[in-house]
Amino acid sequence: MISWSDVAAFALVALTMVMTPGPNMIYLIGRSVTQGRIAGFISLLGVIAGFVVYMVAAALGVTAILFAVPLAYEALQWAGAAYLLYLAWNTVKPGARSVLEARSDLPVDPPARLFAMGFLTNLLNPKIAVLYLSLLPQFIDPARGSVLMQGITLGAVQIAVSFAVNASIVIAAGGLAAWFARRPRWIAAQRWTMASVLTGLAFSLALQRRSV
């Protein structure tokens, strides 16, 4: 089926994307710092469920249909870019607080809401849409057998990589928050760095051309 070199290359792409700050990372860190690791892991399960939806859609060819309709893809592109700019603004607007600042004024969400918010955050994550719409098809070769199984295999690799990285983030969030709490200047630097990264991702997404 898929060669090990292609699997490794796709895993590296998935690792690079999950390590880039985005909506999933922001939500998981914020919830883990505010409500604890258990809440973070429940939220992470919702994120993983969102990955499964994308994986099944890609494997069944639904994403190919979206890619074949230029207006639909462009709408997704611009909506994703706008969402990233919105997150960037919320990071640095007057009165904004870092996701690494522990807060007591946020409501404690029940498990069902934590899962649902993780799911929706990932489902609306433009990075994941780009990964499954643009990058995954490039690693599928019809000559190597079932396209469906290749899509599922690559999707499973991406989910495993994402779970490992995000689980580490959930576990480390509390320690990071404590470290930053003792260094207020670093909190400000983190906010502006996050905003800059999100803005860069927004422009990159908006200017990206379809590759298939």
Q: Is the pLDDT of residue 125 over 80?
A: no
Alpha carbon distance 158, 160 (integer Å): 5
Predicted confidence (pLDDT) per residue in 197-207, tens digit: 778 867 876 77
H/E stretch holding 185 reads helix 184-207
Predicted confidence (pLDDT) per residue in 156-196, tens digit: 999 999 999 999 989 988 777 666 666 667 666 767 777 78
**Mean pLDDT on 66-73:** 60
Question: What pTM value is reported for the model?
Answer: 0.70
Alpha carbon distance 120, 37 (integer Å): 20
Q: Is the pLDDT of residue 212 over 50?
A: no
- What pLDDT does residue 41 have? 95
Instruction: Scan for tokens 């090990």, then name that residue.
Output: 4
Q: Exposure string (b/e) for 147-169, b if CB count within 10 Å is 16 or more?
A: eeebbbbbbebbbebbbebbbeb
H/E stretch holding 196 reads helix 184-207
Predicted confidence (pLDDT) per residue in 87-107, tens digit: 778 767 776 665 555 555 556
Predicted confidence (pLDDT) per residue in 142-155, tens digit: 778 787 788 888 99
